[in-house]
């Protein structure tokens, strides 16, 4: 991996964020919401509104507003929320922390379950185990998060009363309470990911098992298990990194729904509240942070792939 490539990839992240900032700014500009009216209420006098617009720079041309916003952003200033009047940055990043906890636990659970399922399905191809895994994965891919979440709450919280239905507890305050509150959301988010990734692992491994070098290793007299561990899995599992990284986009969408349903104060919930209240600065900051998360994860995945697979020479 050349430094040149690294630089190019980093520039890509900045370009991505630039495009996203343009899109977000364009969308929020078209939104029929007047920030001044939102802050002062509908009964404010025209003079007061004008004065506030003046101080907020709302009378300036759009590109000047965009420039001011971008300049403040580059200095780490996300602006203030129209709804709460608080600075957005700190609130958003602590919300992001809770969402990342949810996301990492979901990815962890997914890896623990999806990879073994995919491997079993591939080596028992066409047998009962394979069919069962396929059925599970078709069902998993076809159920939207809000359906799995609602059914899970009905079953495990309402009827069986094993787990708390909704809410969030900070892990530093009450560790076991936090775990209990996180089990359902994490399971719900991982369902679709497990279904998708186990299918991908299966198809990669099936392809690898049909290659000449696997046949050569078997003919050499190596046992099935050794061939699988030493040769097949290494090549079959590498693409999983890329797939998981691309699934992060989907994961972030799922996080929005799941946080809304389970009342978890993460970035997804902040965004939904902001979108419903037309709190423009919060929408802008939230979308940008989500896009940045996605870009950075994909950047890390590319680097990891290059480090693990020596055959890949990026330039």
Partner 1 sequence: MIEFLKRLLRTPQGAIGLFVVVLVLLIVIFGPMLAPNDPEKMAPLARYKAPSLTYLLGTDQYGRDIFSRLLIGARATVVMAVLATIIGTLVGALIGTTSAFLGGRADEFIMRTVDAVMSIPSLLFALLVVNLLGSSTVNALVAVAIAFAPGMARITRSVALSVRKQDYVNAAMARGESSAFIIRREMLPNVVAPIIVEMTIRISFAIMLFATLSFLGLGAQPPAAEWGLMVSEARRYMHLSAGILIWPSVAIAIASIGFNLLGDGLRDALNPRT
- Kindly list the residues in this chain that would bind partner 1 in the complex (CB under 8 A): 12, 15-20, 23-24, 27, 30-31, 138-139, 141-147, 150-151, 154, 158, 249-250, 252-254, 256-257, 260, 271-272, 275-276, 278, 283, 287, 290-291, 294-295, 298
| Distance of closest approach, residue 120 Cβ to partner 1, in angstroms | 19
**Least Å from the CB of residue 118 to partner 1:** 16
* Closest CB 153 distance from partner 1, rounded Å: 8
Cβ 55 to partner 1 shortest distance, Å: 26
Which residues on neighbouring strands pair with residue 80, listed in sequence order? 87
Given a contact cutoff of 8 angstroms between Cβ atoms, the answer to whether 78 and 90 are in contact is no
Distance of alpha carbon 284 from alpha carbon 3, whole angstroms: 32
Return the number of the residue (33 or 51) whose C-beta is nearest partner 1.
33
CB of 147 to partner 1, least distance (A): 4
Cα gap 38→45, rounded to integer Å:
13
For partner 1, the closer of residues 30 and 310 by Cβ is: 30
Nearer to partner 1, 154 or 308 (CB): 154
CB closer to partner 1 out of 142 and 216: 142
What residue has token string 């403040």? 72
Least gap, CB of 9 to partner 1 (angstroms)? 11
Q: What is the DSSP letter of 158?
A: I
At 125, phi and psi to the nearest 5?
-55, 130
Distance CA 199, CA 140 (A): 11
Least distance (Å) between residue 257 CB and partner 1 = 6
Helix 88-123 to helix 128-142 angle, to the nearest 10 degrees? 150
Residue number, 112 or 155, with CB nearest to partner 1:
155
Provide CB contacts within 8 A for 165, sequence distance 6+.
153, 157, 158, 184
Q: Which is nearer to partner 1, 120 or 192 (CB)?
A: 192
Tell me the DSSP string of 56-101. HTTTS-HHHHHHHHHHHHHTT---B-TTT-SBHHHHHHHHHHHHHH
Measure the CA–CA gap between 81 and 315, rounded to whole angstroms: 43
Please say which residue, 69 or 294, places its beta carbon nearer to partner 1. Answer: 294
- The contacts of residue 106 (CB under 8 Å, 6+ apart) are 186, 189, 190, 193, 251
CA atoms of 186 and 205, how far apart (whole Å) = 27
**Smallest gap from residue 144 Cβ to partner 1 (A):** 4
Q: Which is nearer to partner 1, 75 or 276 (CB)?
A: 276
């Amino acid at each position: 991996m050349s430094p040149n490539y690294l630089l190019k990839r980093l520039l890509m992240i900045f370009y991505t964020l630039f495009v996203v900032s343009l899109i977000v700014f364009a969308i929020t500009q078209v939104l029929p919401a007047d920030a001044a009216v939102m802050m002062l209420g509908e009964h404010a006098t025209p003079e007061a509104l004008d004065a506030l617009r003046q101080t907020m720079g709302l009378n300036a041309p759009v590109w000047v507003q965009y420039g001011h916003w971008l300049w403040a952003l580059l200095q780490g200033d996300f602006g203030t929320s129209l709804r709460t009047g608080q600075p957005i940055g700190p609130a958003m990043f602590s919300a992001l922390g809770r969402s990342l906890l949810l996301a990492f636990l979901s990815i962890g659970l997914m890896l623990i379950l999806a990879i073994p399922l995919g491997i079993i399905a591939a080596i028992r191809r066409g047998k009962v185990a394979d069919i069962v895994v396929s059925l599970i994965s078709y069902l998993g891919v076809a159920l939207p998060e809000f359906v799995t979440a609602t059914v899970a709450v009905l079953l495990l919280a309402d009827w069986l009363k094993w787990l708390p239905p909704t809410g969030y507890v900070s892990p530093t305050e009450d560790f076991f309470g936090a775990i209990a509150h996180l089990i359902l959301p994490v399971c719900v988010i991982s369902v679709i990911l497990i279904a998708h990734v186990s299918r991908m692992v299966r198809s990669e491994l099936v392809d690898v098992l049909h290659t000449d070098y696997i046949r050569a290793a078997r003919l050499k007299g190596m046992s099935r298990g050794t061939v699988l561990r030493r040769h097949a899995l290494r090549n079959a599992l590498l693409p999983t990194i890329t797939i998981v990284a691309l699934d992060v986009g989907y994961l972030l969408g799922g996080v929005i729904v799941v946080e809304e349903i389970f009342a978890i104060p993460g970035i997804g919930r902040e965004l939904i509240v902001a979108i419903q209240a037309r709190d423009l600065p919060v929408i802008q900051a939230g979308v940008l942070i989500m896009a940045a998360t996605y870009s950075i994860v994909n950047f890390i995945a590319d680097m990891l792939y290059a480090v693990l697979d020596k055959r890949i020479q990026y330039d």
